[in-house]
Amino acid sequence: MRGISKRYGVTIALRGVGLTGLPGEVHALVGENGAGKSTLMKVLSGAVQPEEGDIRLDGTPVRIREPAEARRLGVHAVYQEFSLVPNLSVAENIWLSRGSLRRNRWWVDRSKVNRSAEDLLDEIGFTGLDVRRPVSRLRVSGRQLVEIAKAVIERPQVLILDEPSAVLSREELRRLFDLVRRLTREGTLVFYVSHRLEEVFEIADRITVLKDGEVVGTVRPRETDERELIRMMVGRTLEEIYPRRGGGRGEEVLGIHGLGRDAAFGDVSFSLARGEIVGLFGLVGSGRTEMARCIFGAEPATLGHMRLEGRPFQPRSPAEAVAAGVAYLTEDRARDGLVITDTVRDNVSLASLRRLGRWGLLDRRMQERVVEAKVRELDIRPPQPWRVVGRLSGGNQQKVMLAKWLLTAAKVLILDEPTRGVDVATKVDMYQMTSALAQRGVGILLISSELPEILGMSDRVLVMRKGRTVGEFDRAQATEEALLAPAAGVRS
Contact 305, 259 (CB under 8 A): yes
Is there a single domain that holds both residue 174 and residue 60? yes
pLDDT at residue 99 greater than cutoff 80: no
Which CATH number characterizes residue 82's domain?
3.40.50.300
Contact 214, 15 (CB under 8 A): yes
- Residue 242, in any domain of the structure: no
Query: How large is the average pLDDT for residues 270-297?
Result: 94
Residues 120, 130: Cα–Cα separation, whole Å = 13
Is there a single domain that holds both residue 80 and residue 164? yes
Residues 64, 75: Cα–Cα separation, whole Å = 10
Phi first, then psi, for residue 316 (nearest 5°) are -95, -5
Q: What percent of the chain has pLDDT over 70?
A: 96
- Residue 241, in any domain of the structure: no
pLDDT of residue 332: 86
pLDDT at residue 197 greater than cutoff 80: yes
Q: In DSSP terms, which residues pair with 206 in a beta bridge?
A: 27
- Residue 424, in any domain of the structure: yes
pLDDT at residue 271 greater than cutoff 60: yes
**pLDDT-derived band at 237, boundaries 50, 70, 90:** low
pLDDT of residue 161: 96
Considering only 80-84, 101-105, 381-385, which range has the smallest mean pLDDT?
Answer: 101-105
pLDDT at residue 34 greater than cutoff 80: no
Q: What residue ranges in 262-331 does DSSP mark as E strands? A: 265-273, 277-281, 303-308, 311-312, 326-329
pLDDT at residue 103 greater than cutoff 70: no
- Residue 415, in any domain of the structure: yes
Query: How large is the average pLDDT for residues 22-38?
Result: 91
pLDDT of residue 246: 66
Q: In DSSP terms, which residues pair with 29 in a beta bridge?
A: 193, 208
Q: In DSSP terms, which residues pair with 219 in a beta bridge?
A: 207
Residues 64, 58: Cα–Cα separation, whole Å = 14
Is there a single domain that holds both residue 28 and residue 167? yes
Q: At 408, is the secondary structure helix, strand, or coil?
A: coil
pLDDT at residue 347 greater than cutoff 80: yes
Total structural domains in the chain?
A: 2
Contact 331, 416 (CB under 8 A): yes
Is there a single domain that holds both residue 224 and residue 329? no
Is there a single domain that holds both residue 163 and residue 267? no
Residues 280, 288: Cα–Cα separation, whole Å = 7
pLDDT of residue 255: 97
Contact 483, 461 (CB under 8 A): yes
Is there a single domain that holds both residue 142 and residue 257? no
Burial class (CB in 10 A: 0-12, 13-18, 19+), 206: middle
Is there a single domain that holds both residue 181 and residue 262? no
The dihedral region occupied by 406, where left means phi > 0, alpha psi between -120 and 50, and beta the remainder, is: alpha
**pLDDT-derived band at 326, boundaries 50, 70, 90:** very high
Residues 346, 385: Cα–Cα separation, whole Å = 8
pLDDT of residue 45: 97
More confident residue, 67 or 35: 67
**pLDDT-derived band at 398, boundaries 50, 70, 90:** very high
Q: Which domain holds residue 470?
A: 252-487
pLDDT at residue 421 greater than cutoff 80: no
Domain boundary among 207, 234, 261: 234
Contact 85, 97 (CB under 8 A): no
Is there a single domain that holds both residue 203 and residue 310? no
Report the candidate in 308, 311, 342 with the shortest Cα–Cα distance to residue 414. Answer: 308
Q: At 121, is the secondary structure helix, strand, or coil?
A: helix
Query: How large is the average pLDDT for residues 101-128?
Result: 81
Contact 463, 472 (CB under 8 A): yes
Task: Work out the mean pLDDT of the chain and round it to a whole number.
Answer: 91
pLDDT at residue 227 greater than cutoff 90: no
- Residue 256, in any domain of the structure: yes
- Residue 240, in any domain of the structure: no
Residues 355, 362: Cα–Cα separation, whole Å = 9
Query: How large is the average pLDDT for residues 367-386?
Result: 93
Looking at residue 461, its amino acid is V
Is there a single domain that holds both residue 404 and residue 346? yes
More confident residue, 99 or 360: 360
Q: Kindly state the DSSP code that residue 195 receives in the 8-state scheme.
A: S
Is there a single domain that holds both residue 46 and residue 184? yes
pLDDT of residue 127: 86
Is there a single domain that holds both residue 333 and residue 450? yes
**pLDDT-derived band at 104, boundaries 50, 70, 90:** low
- Residue 243, in any domain of the structure: no
Is there a single domain that holds both residue 24 and residue 65? yes
Domain boundary among 234, 269, 292: 234
Query: How large is the average pLDDT for residues 468-483?
Result: 93
Domain boundary among 234, 262, 296: 234
Q: How many CA atoms lie within 13 A of 175 on its CB side?
A: 18
pLDDT at residue 411 greater than cutoff 70: yes
Q: At 331, is the secondary structure helix, strand, or coil?
A: coil
- Residue 310, in any domain of the structure: yes
Query: How large is the average pLDDT for residues 281-303?
Result: 92
